Amino acid sequence: MAELSDPAGAGSDVPSTAVEQARAAAVETAGSAELVGEHLGAVRETPPTGAGGTGFGEVVTHSFASRLPGYVGWYWAVTLAAVPGEEHVTVDEVVLLPGDQALLAPAWVPWHERLRPGDLSVGDVLPSTEDDPRLVPGYTTADDSADDPEGSVVASEIGIGRERVMSREGRQEAADRWSAGEFGPRSPMARQAPGPCASCGFFLPLAGSLRQRLGACGNVYAPADGRVVTVDYGCGAHSQATLAADDAAEVVRSARYDTGSFDVL
């Protein structure tokens, strides 16, 4: 596309009033003349008629600065078409386009990449994908297995009841996430605890391969009650954190500070 030297887009078949016609079309689309700024130029979309041209007329796009709030750097693009032998120029389209300095929305990201822990609310449904690496067919414990259309049938026949279970990768990811969280060994509570959860009577180990690393807390007074904790987590509600009765405390009947240098009022 070649930029026209005449900002009005004047040519053999384009009248000099093309700019005003294009502006009127932009104002109609914008809804207000205040939202259409100065004329920025015109670009010929097709070769001119005559020598070397197509003979089917010209298509010219006029640009106007946008004053639409929130669209800094955008511009109105109005495309006009002139047919040889016709007195009137036709408005093809009016669009709002981003310029080089325009603010644009970030690239679209698939929903499963945008989700974060805690985003799921009441009534939401979060389906898992068929290629989720955290899941494998329920009849196998292999780390990775090919898609098996017979998986649901086999799982039902042998009585497992679940078509898919967590893979080793999925279990490892969950264990690492919980270990690094609030109820892991590096939390402030665990560092001040009298003992680890592994030796606590309220600790309920998980089944399977995670038994040696994780469990649930069953102490109603513990901050992790009903939560998954690591075996090396701990808190002040440890079952062995008992208080031994000491001798009767001495009753202090006199001041514990020196009163020789000042009078007690």
| Per-residue model confidence as pLDDT tens digits over 188-209 | 999 988 899 999 999 999 988 8
Alpha-carbon gap, residue 189 to 177, rounded angstroms:
17
Q: Confidence band (pLDDT; 50, 70, 90) for 114? A: confident
Q: Classify residue 144: in a domain, yes or no.
A: yes
Is residue 160 located within the same domain as residue 193?
no
Instruction: Give the dihedral of Cα atoms 94, 98, 100, 104; nearest 10 deg.
Output: 180
Residues 90 and 141 occupy one common structural domain: no
Nearest-angstrom CA–CA distance, 233 and 239: 13
Q: Tell me: pLDDT of 261 over 90.
A: no
Report the SS3 class of residue 215: strand
Same domain, 88 and 32: yes
Reported as a single tens digit per residue, the pLDDT across 234-256 is 998 888 876 555 555 454 445 45
114 within a domain of the structure (yes/no) = no
Contact 202, 219 (CB under 8 A): yes
DSSP secondary structure letter of residue 145: -
pLDDT at site 198: 92
Tell whether 86 and 152 lie within a shared domain.
no
Position 212 in a domain:
yes
Q: What is the mean pLDDT of the chain?
A: 77
Does residue 124 fall inside a structural domain?
A: no
Asked if residue 205 belongs to a domain, the reply is: yes
Digit-coded pLDDT (tens) for 36-73: 999 999 998 876 555 444 455 788 999 999 999 989 89
Residues 192 and 152 both lie in one domain: no
What is the residue range of 9's domain?
A: 2-98
**225 and 198 in a common domain:** yes
Rounded mean pLDDT, 84-107 = 87
Q: Are residues 219 and 198 in the same domain?
A: yes
159/190 same-domain check: no
143: in domain: yes
- Same domain? 186 vs 212: yes
Q: Categorize the per-residue pLDDT at 13 as very low, low, confident or very high, splitting at 50, 70 and 90.
A: very low
- Counting the structural domains of the chain, the total is 3
Q: Verify that 76 and 11 share a domain, yes or no.
A: yes
Q: What pLDDT band is residue 124 in, cutting at 50, 70 and 90? A: low
pTM, two decimal places: 0.44
What tens digit of pLDDT does each residue of 20-36 get? Answer: 999 999 999 999 999 99
Is 263 within the bounds of a domain?
A: no
Q: CB of 204 within 8 A of CB of 218?
A: yes
> Residue 265: inside a domain, yes or no?
no
Predicted confidence band at 2 (pLDDT cuts at 50, 70, 90)? very low
Paired tokens of 106: 């970030």
Do both 160 and 184 map to the same domain? no
* Same domain flag for 137 and 193: no
Q: In angstroms, how far is the first alpha carbon of the chain from the final one? A: 98
In which residue are the tokens 């009765």 written?
Answer: 245
**Residue 164: per-residue pLDDT:** 79
Q: Kindly indicate the confidence band of residue 153, based on its pLDDT and cuts at 50, 70 and 90.
A: low
Tokens read off for 17: 């009033």
